[in-house]
Amino acid sequence: MLSTVIAIAEQVRTGQRKAVEVAEESLRAIDTLDHELHAFLAVAAEPMIQQARLVDQARERGEPLGLLAGVPVAIKDAICTRGLVSTAGSKILSGYVPPYDATVITKLRAAGAVFPGKTNMDEFAMGSSNENSAYGPARNPWDCARVPGGSSGGSAVAVAARMAPAALGSDTGGSIRQPASLTGTVGVKPTYGRVSRFGLIAFASSLDQIGPFATDVRGAARVLSVIAGKDPRDATSLDVPVDDYEAACGKSIRGLRIGVPEEYFAQGLDPEVEASVRAAIASLEDDGCVVKPVKLPHTRYAVATYYVLATAEASSNLARFDGVRYGLRVREAHDDLRAMYGKTRDAGFGAEVKRRILLGTFVLSAGYYDAYYLKAQRVRTLLRRDFEAAFGDVDAICSPTSPTPAWKLGEKMADPLAMYLSDVYTLPASLAGIAAMSVPCAPTRGGLPVGLQIMAPALRESTCFSLAAAWEARLPTQLPPLGFER
Task: Write out the residues near ligand GLN by the rule CB under 6 A.
Answer: 125-128, 151, 171-175, 203, 310, 423
CA 100 to chain centre: 22
Least CB distance to ligand GLN at residue 413 (A): 13
Respond yes or no: is residue 175 known to be catalytic. Answer: yes
Q: By C-alpha distance, which of 187, 164, 165, 192 is closest to 176?
A: 187
- Residues counted in the chain: 486
Least CB distance to ligand GLN at residue 204 (A): 8
Nearest residue (CB) to ligand GLN, 171 versus 395: 171
Catalytic pick among 155, 170, 175, 402: 175
Q: By C-alpha distance, which of 170, 163, 150 is closest to 105?
A: 170
The angle that helices 375-390 and 302-317 make with each other, rounded to 10 degrees, is 130
Distance CA 435, CA 437 (A): 7
Least CB distance to ligand GLN at residue 172 (A): 3
Nearest residue (CB) to ligand GLN, 26 versus 175: 175
The gap between the terminal CA atoms of the chain, to the nearest Å, is: 6
Least CB distance to ligand GLN at residue 416 (A): 9
Would you say 172 and 201 are in contact if contact means Cβ atoms under 8 Å apart?
no
Distance CA 189, CA 220 (A): 11
Respond yes or no: is residue 76 known to be catalytic. Answer: yes
Question: Strand pairing partners for 290?
Answer: 257
The number of beta carbons lying within 10 Å of the beta carbon of residue 274 is 15
Q: By C-alpha distance, which of 465, 463, 442 is closest to 259?
A: 463
Q: Which amino acid makes up residue 44?
A: A
Q: By C-alpha distance, which of 421, 428, 367 is closest to 399?
A: 428
Distance CA 425, CA 394 (A): 18
Nearest residue (CB) to ligand GLN, 173 versus 451: 173
Q: By C-alpha distance, which of 185, 186, 228, 223 is closest to 209?
A: 228
Least CB distance to ligand GLN at residue 326 (A): 20
Nearest residue (CB) to ligand GLN, 289 versus 409: 409
Would you say 227 and 195 are in contact if contact means Cβ atoms under 8 Å apart?
yes
Distance CA 144, CA 310 (A): 30
Distance CA 475, CA 486 (A): 18
Catalytic pick among 18, 76, 189, 343: 76
Would you say 203 and 314 are in contact if contact means Cβ atoms under 8 Å apart?
yes
Nearest residue (CB) to ligand GLN, 207 versus 469: 207
Least CB distance to ligand GLN at residue 16 (A): 38
Least CB distance to ligand GLN at residue 70 (A): 30
Which residue minimizes CB distance to ligand GLN?
Answer: 175
Nearest residue (CB) to ligand GLN, 323 versus 433: 433
Nearest residue (CB) to ligand GLN, 32 versus 316: 316
Catalytic pick among 90, 151, 315, 462: 151
Q: Which contiguous run of DSSP H or E holds residue 57?
A: helix 45-60
| Active-site annotation, residues | 76, 151, 175
